[in-house]
Amino acid sequence: MIDGGNPVLAERKRAAYGEAMCPNVLIRDVPADTHEVLVARAREAGLSLQEYLLRHVQDFAGRPTMAELMESAAARVEALGVGESDVDEVVGWIHQAREERDPRV
């Protein structure tokens, strides 16, 4: 038993260790040329490959997907009580502004 047989202390240390650990992600079968590019870019940025990839993964995870954006927009439209005719009018304004800006459109 950890810590001289004291089960309470052992459990407390196990819980603290488990809470401090972050999950890992493993990507298998990365093509060699892709790996080389990533290593070079990480080196250029002054980062380890892990740090470089973690920054990009965090950035990627921080951006909403198209489905999430559409769901959010739909919820806002519904909350504002915007009707279909309002949307059509706004789309018309956009088309008109584009034509005024660039008659080739």
- Say what the pLDDT of residue 37 is: 98
52 CB-near residues (< 8 Å, 6+ apart): 38, 41, 42, 45
- Say what the pLDDT of residue 20 is: 67
Q: Which residue has the tokens 């080389």?
A: 36
- Say what the pLDDT of residue 92 is: 87
- Per domain, the residue ranges of the chain are 66-105
Single out the residue of 23, 22, 52, 25 nearest to residue 37, CA to CA. 52
pTM for the model stands at: 0.56
- Say what the pLDDT of residue 1 is: 45
pLDDT in tens, the chain (105 residues): 445 667 766 666 666 665 667 889 999 999 999 999 999 999 999 999 999 999 999 999 999 999 999 999 888 888 887 776 777 888 888 898 888 887 665
